[in-house]
Amino acid sequence: MIAPPSSLPALRLKPKADARRLRHGAPWVWADELVLDRRSRGIPAGALAILEDADRRPVGVGVATVEAKIAFRMLDRDATAVIDADWLRARIAAALDLRQKVFDAPYYRLIHAEGDALPGLIVDRFGETLVIQPNAIWLEERLDMLSEILADLTGCTALIKNGSGRARAAEGLAEETVVLRGAAPEGPMPVPMNGAIYMADVMAGQKTGLFYDQRFNHGVAAGLAREARVLDVFSHVGGFALACLAGGATGAMAVDASEPALDLALAGARAMGRAADLTTRRGDAFAVMEALEQEGESFDLVIADPPAFAPSKPALEKGLRAYERVARLAAPLVAPGGVLILCSCSHAADLGKFRAACLRGIGRAGRVPRLIHTGFAGPDHPQHPDLTETGYLKVLAFRLLP
């Protein structure tokens, strides 16, 4: 039973803290914005609390983690809201309604944390299977309730908890992957998108088993791939390569450091009847790109979708240099008049900084670019306007002049 708001402890903002931004929708409060005395420091991590401004007027109700850098996460700006099963059901139902309006098949990110007003919660849907990442204590404590609501609203028969990642470690939560309901899938699951078939390993794959955020950018690449020879660098399970084959590419090469990921890419190509048209090359992406240039290789379409080189502000400068290097090594592999697509999933590198790094790299390679597309994550990854972390993905497509 969840205690009513009147019985919840209170956290108070310092006089210099900007309560207006929180009333206008900002989701987080930093530890240095709060009055932290013996009473407030005694609030257990993950407990519900009322946030008050410096004059003790309520701002909202949320989750306290006072010893962390982010000391409070807003759940509801109505301080009288009761955070119970009905509240959770309403938030999840709203998220589901959006996805059902946008997608004609049950393959999508169902819940995108703060983007769906559910801080710390990631849920990806693979047909009748849900993979849940409860990346905060308040969710872990309500996992049974959460599972029941998700199963009831979606009708999914298998629910898997993926308890991995830095976010859980920061909350002091154990790393584990367990089946909450139903049975684990027997091997990788086929996922149809953009005319391609991807193989998602939801039990042992990276993250939840597949990245849905690039779906619309895969579609853009597929539209550019007719009769093209394609290179997909940092390919994971063949995200861009398989979409391009579905779009009419004559052939594609997938490059990744992970042999299991490349095996899944090949399995997807087989499921599409295009196994003969996909080649794989395992190794460090930078070294492989250098080797391909030395071998005189050339491609009509080159895509580089690396991991987050700048996951935080302290890593920004080093990360931007890495993105510049990717662009410098990838550009020479693009045939005259071909297209280079460069991606960043680093929230610390905003669009302007990322674009500047890409242009430096392309320029250092001696190529002349024209920007033809700027992409972001799809609508199943809604962005919180006050939280750059939810708008992390940037995609730039350049035509390199002959």
**CATH at 67:** 2.30.130.10
**Cα separation, 222 vs 374, whole angstroms:** 15
Q: What pLDDT, on the 0 to 100 scale, is given for residue 4? A: 46
267 and 289 share one domain: yes
| Number of folded domains that form the chain | 3
Give mean pLDDT, residues 80-98.
97
Give mean pLDDT, residues 12-25.
92
pLDDT band (50, 70, 90) for residue 6: low
143 and 202 share one domain: no
388 and 301 share one domain: yes
Indicate which CATH number applies to the domain containing 349: 3.40.50.150
Strands 278-282 and 299-304: unpaired
**Cα separation, 218 vs 204, whole angstroms:** 24
pLDDT band (50, 70, 90) for residue 3: very low
Question: Which of 210, 163, 159, 164 has its CA nearest to residue 185?
Answer: 159
129 and 251 share one domain: no
Give mean pLDDT, residues 106-124.
97
pTM of the model: 0.93
369 and 314 share one domain: yes
pLDDT band (50, 70, 90) for residue 174: confident
257 and 385 share one domain: yes
151 and 115 share one domain: yes
Percent of the chain with pLDDT over 90: 88
109 and 240 share one domain: no
330 and 394 share one domain: yes
**Cα separation, 355 vs 398, whole angstroms:** 11
Residue after which a domain boundary falls, among 130, 154, 181:
181
The H-or-E segment that residue 177 falls in is strand 176-181
Q: What pLDDT, on the 0 to 100 scale, is given for residue 170? A: 77
Q: Are 168 and 157 in contact (CB under 8 A)?
A: no
pLDDT band (50, 70, 90) for residue 260: very high
The H-or-E segment that residue 17 falls in is none
Give mean pLDDT, residues 236-249.
98
Task: Report the mean per-residue pLDDT for the chain.
Answer: 94
pLDDT band (50, 70, 90) for residue 382: very high
Domain that holds residue 94: 85-181
Given a cut of 50, whether residue 127 has pLDDT beyond it is yes
Give mean pLDDT, residues 316-339.
98
**Cα separation, 198 vs 220, whole angstroms:** 17
Q: Annotated catalytic sites, by residue?
A: 345
Question: What value does the CA radius of gyration of the chain take, rounded to a whole number of Å?
Answer: 23
**Cα separation, 226 vs 301, whole angstroms:** 10
Q: What pLDDT, on the 0 to 100 scale, is given for residue 168? A: 83
251 and 280 share one domain: yes
φ, ψ of residue 82 to 5 degrees: the values are -100, 120
Residue after which a domain boundary falls, among 158, 181, 204:
181
Report in angstroms the alpha-carbon separations of 252 from 5, 42, 56, 247: 57, 57, 61, 11
Percent of the chain with pLDDT over 70: 99
Indicate which CATH number applies to the domain containing 89: 3.30.750.80
Q: Are 302 and 338 in contact (CB under 8 A)?
A: yes
DSSP 347-400: TTS-HHHHHHHHHHHHHHTT--EEEEEEE---TTSPPPTT-GGGG--EEEEEEE
201 and 326 share one domain: yes
Give mean pLDDT, residues 130-134.
96
341 and 274 share one domain: yes
